[in-house]
Amino acid sequence: MLRRKCLTNDPAHGNQTAMSRFPIPPSVAIIGAGPAGLFAAEYLSAHGCRVDVFEQMPSVGRKLLMAGRSGLNLTHSEPLDHFLTRYGAAQSWLFPAIHDFPPDQLREWADGLGQPCFSGSSGRVFPRSMKASPLLRAWLARLAKQGVTIRTRHRFTGWGDSKHIRFEIPESTVAFTPDAVLLAMGGASWSRLGSDGEWADLFAAETAPFAPANCGFTPDWSQDFLHRHEGNILHSVGLSFENEKTRGDLTITARGLEGSALYALSARLREAIARDGSATILLDLRPTLPEDAALKRLQAQRPRESLSNRLRKAFALDSTARELLRDATPKDATPHQLTHTLKALPITLTGTDTLDRAISTAGGLRQDALDEHFMIRSRPGVFAAGEMLDWEAPTGGYLLQGCFSTGLAAAKGVLGWLESSVSGIA
Ligand SMILES: Cc1cc2nc3c(=O)[nH]c(=O)nc-3n(C[C@H](O)[C@H](O)[C@H](O)COP(=O)(O)OP(=O)(O)OC[C@H]3O[C@@H](n4cnc5c(N)ncnc54)[C@H](O)[C@@H]3O)c2cc1C
C-alpha cells in the first residue's frame, strides 16, 4: 500500500519524526486560528493530513497577540497536581489532555520556536521576549513549511446538506467537504479580536451559557467616586472572599474594579452574585503589614494632624485608598477601627462587568456533548478544543495551557478517527 511519508515537527514531542500513515492524505478543516486551532494544525499536518485553517478575521492569532501585549503568560511552573486544581470542576475532564501535554512540554515547544521561557517569581512562565509576535511569526513559518493552508476572511456559518461546511467570504459563500473538522472558535469575549461566540447558535442544546470569567465587577460605589478615581491602581493589595485570599493590583474603571487580584476570585464571586444578588469582598490595603504593627504606626502619628495626613504618613496610602478608608469608617473612628478596616475593608459587589470585556469566558460546549477524544457526539468527525469548551481557569498561564493541551488532544482524536473511519488503518 502506498503511504505518504513525511519528515516534520511533532509538537507533542518537540522533535523531528518520520511518519507514514495514510495512502492518500485525508483533509482536515480547522476552524479558528487561535492557539488551540493552530496547535492542532501543527500536529495534524505533521501526521500526514492535508490541513486547511479557516479564520474569519483578516489575520490569525489576534487574541494571542493581545495576550502578549502585557507579557505573554504561556503557562505556570507550579507542580502539576496543584496546577490541575486551577481548572475547578473541569479538572478531571482536562486532566488527560494536560497530563499528555503538560507545562514543561509547552515550554519546550516555545523553545523549539526560538522563544525560550523563564519563570517569574510568582511561578508564571513567559517567553524571554515577553511578546507573542515573535512566537507567532516562527510558528506560522513552521506551519507553512508543513503545508498548512491558512484561509483568512472565511467565516464558518454551519453545515449544508451532507458533510459540507459553509463559509461566508467577502461578497460570496463557499463550501468544503473535508474528511474531518476541528472547531477552535474561542469563547465570547473581546469580540473585536474574532471570538464572538456566535458559533453557539449551531450547538444550542449542547452549550452552557457564556459568562464572564477573569472579569471586572461593579461595586456599590457612587458614579462620582468612580469618575474621580477612574484609572487609579491600588497596588499589591490583598483580597479575600469566603476562605480564598489573593494578592495583586486592583484598577478602578469607569464601571467598577478589575485586576489580577479580583480575576482569581471571579468564578466564586460570579456564582455568589447570581445566587445572592451581591457578594462582599474584604480588601487589605497593606497585606504585608500585620494589624498590630499598623496600629502602632498610626498611634505614633501626631494626633493634631488631619486624618488624611496621618493615614498617608503611617501607611503611604494614596488619595484613592485614603478616601476608601474614610468612607468605610465612622467620622470619629478610633485608631483600632481604622487599622482593622485598613486590613479588611468591605466592598459589596453587585454585578460583573460585561462579557465582552472579560479576559476569558466560562460556558461553551459542555463535557457531555463530547466524547473522551473531544469529538462532538451529535456530529461524528467533528471535534472541538480551546476556550470554546465549557471550562474556566484563572489568569496565570492556565488559559493558554488549557487551549494548547485540548488543541492537541482534539487533534489526536481527529487522527484516531481518520485512521479508523477513513482509511481503515487500525
Ligand atoms: C487581554 C487578554 C490577555 C490575555 N492574556 C493571557 C495570558 O497572558 N495567558 C493566558 O493563558 N491567557 C491569556 N488570555 C486568554 C487567551 O488569550 C485565550 O484563552 C486564548 O487565546 C483562547 O484560545 P483559542 O484558540 O481557544 O481561541 P481564540 O484565541 O479566541 O481564537 C479563536 C479564533 O476563532 C475565530 N473564529 C471565531 N468564530 C469563527 C467563525 N465563525 N469562523 C471562522 N473563524 C472564527 C476567531 O476569529 C479567533 O481567531 C488573554 C486574553 C485577553 C483578552
Q: 27 alpha carbon to ligand 1 midpoint, in Å? A: 24
The whole-number pLDDT of residue 161 equals: 76
Contacts of 26 (CB under 8 A, 6+ apart): 48, 49, 50, 179, 180, 418, 422, 423
Closest CA relative to residue 163, chosen from 421, 424, 425: 421
The span from the CA of 282 to the CA of 245, in Å, is 9
The DSSP result for 7-46, as a single string, is EEEETTTTEEEEEE--SSPPEEEEE--SHHHHHHHHHHHH
Q: Residue 79 above 50 pLDDT?
A: yes
Q: How far is the CA of 136 from the centre of ligand 1 (A)?
A: 13
CB atoms within 10 A of CB 45: 28
pTM: 0.92
Dig out the grid coordinates for 207 from the structure.
Answer: 452549550
Nearest CA to ligand 1 atom 46: 194
Contact 211, 361 (CB under 8 A): yes
Task: Looking at 212-302, list the stretches that DSSP marks H as alpha helix, in order from N- to C-terminal side.
Answer: 223-229, 260-263, 266-276, 291-299
Q: How far is the CA of 64 from the centre of ligand 1 (A)?
A: 6
Which residue has its alpha carbon closest to ligand 1 atom 35? 32
Nearest Cα residue to atom 4 of ligand 1:
67
Enumerate residues 6+ apart whose C-beta is below 8 A from 276. none
Rounded to the nearest angstrom, the distance between the alpha carbon of 237 and the centre of ligand 1 is 29
Which of the listed residues 53, 54, 63, 83 should we mutate to test ligand 1's pocket, taking the one with most ligand atoms within 8 A of CB?
63
Q: What is the pLDDT of residue 406?
A: 98
Neighbours of 35 (CB within 10 A): 29
Distance 162 CA to ligand 1 centre (A): 30
- Partners of 284 in the β-ladder: 238
CA dihedral 398, 400, 405, 409 (to 10 degrees): 130
How far is residue 87's CA from residue 93's CA, in Å, rounded to a whole number? Answer: 9
Atom in ligand 1 nearest the alpha carbon of residue 186: 27
- Mean local confidence (pLDDT), 20-42: 93
Average pLDDT over residues 416-420: 94
* CA nearest ligand 1 atom 1, residue: 67
> Which residues of the chain form CATH 3.50.50.60?
6-211+361-421
Residue 252 main-chain phi, psi, to 5 deg = -90, 125
The pLDDT, as a whole number, for residue 172 is: 95
- What gap in Å lies between CA 94 and CA 100, rounded to an integer? 10
Q: Whose CA is nearest to atom 29 of ligand 1?
A: 34
Q: Whose CA is nearest to atom 20 of ligand 1?
A: 400
- In the three-class reduction of DSSP (H, G, I as helix; E, B as strand; rest coil), residue 263 is classed as helix
**pLDDT band at 22; cut points 50, 70, 90:** confident
Count of beta carbons in the 10 Å neighbourhood of residue 107:
21
- At 421, the pLDDT band (50, 70, 90 cuts) reads confident
Minimal-distance CA residue to ligand 1 atom 31:
34
Q: Whose CA is nearest to atom 13 of ligand 1?
A: 67
Mutate to test the pocket of ligand 1, among 181, 266, 399 (most ligand atoms within 8 A of CB): 399
Tell me the CA–centroid distance for residue 312 and ligand 1, in Å. Answer: 42
CA-CA distances (angstroms) from residue 419 to 38, 47, 164, 397?
21, 11, 21, 33
Q: Which residue owns the Cα nearest ligand 1 atom 53?
A: 359
Query: Which CATH fold topology does 6-211+361-421 show?
Result: FAD/NAD(P)-binding domain (3.50.50)
pLDDT tens, residue by residue, 217-271: 999 999 999 999 999 999 999 999 999 999 999 999 999 999 989 998 999 999 9
Q: Which of 255, 412, 414 is nearest to 349 (CA)?
A: 255
Q: What is the pLDDT of residue 131?
A: 96
58 three-state secondary structure:
coil
Q: Kindly list the protein residues whose Cβ atom lies closer than 6 A to any atom of ligand 1.
A: 31-37, 54-57, 62-64, 66-67, 72-73, 155-156, 184-186, 190, 194-195, 199, 359-360, 386-387, 397, 399-400, 403
Q: Find where cell 491600588 sits.
A: 234
b vs e for 186-198, b when ≥16 Cβ sit within 10 Å of the residue's Cβ? bbbbbeebbbbbe
Q: Counting Cβ atoms within 10 Å, is residue 88 exposed (0-12), middle (13-18) or buried (19+)?
A: middle
- What DSSP state is assigned to residue 122? T
362 C-alpha vs ligand 1 centroid, how far in Å? 13
Distance CA 150, CA 140 (A): 9
DSSP string, 128-166: TT--SHHHHHHHHHHHHHTT-EEE-S-EEEEE-STT-EE
CA nearest ligand 1 atom 3, residue: 67
Question: Rounded to the nearest whole angstrom, what is the distance from the C-alpha of residue 33 to the centroid of ligand 1?
Answer: 9
E strands, 370-419, where? 382-384
Ligand 1 atom with minimal separation from the 398 CA: 11
- Three cell numbers written together for 87: 481548572
User: What is the reported pLDDT for 425?
Assistant: 46
Average pLDDT over residues 110-135: 97
Which residue's C-alpha comes closest to atom 27 of ligand 1? Answer: 186
Q: Is the pLDDT reported for residue 138 higher than 50?
A: yes
Per-residue pLDDT band at 160 (split at 50, 70, 90) = confident
* d(CA 188, ligand 1 centre) in Å: 9
Say what percent of the chain tops pLDDT 70: 94
Q: CB burial class (10 A; 0-12, 13-18, 19+) of residue 303?
A: exposed
Q: What is the pLDDT of residues 359-412, one digit of tens each?
A: 999 999 999 999 999 999 999 999 999 999 999 999 999 999 999 999 999 999
Q: How remote is the CA of residue 403 from the centroid of ligand 1, in Å? A: 9
- 78, 359, 365, best to mutate for ligand 1 pocket (most atoms within 8 Å of CB): 359
- Helix, strand or coil for residue 160? coil
State the angle between helix axes of 91-100 and 398-421 in degrees (0 to 180), rounded to the nearest 10.
80
Max Cα-Cα span within the chain: 94
d(CA 187, CA 52): 21
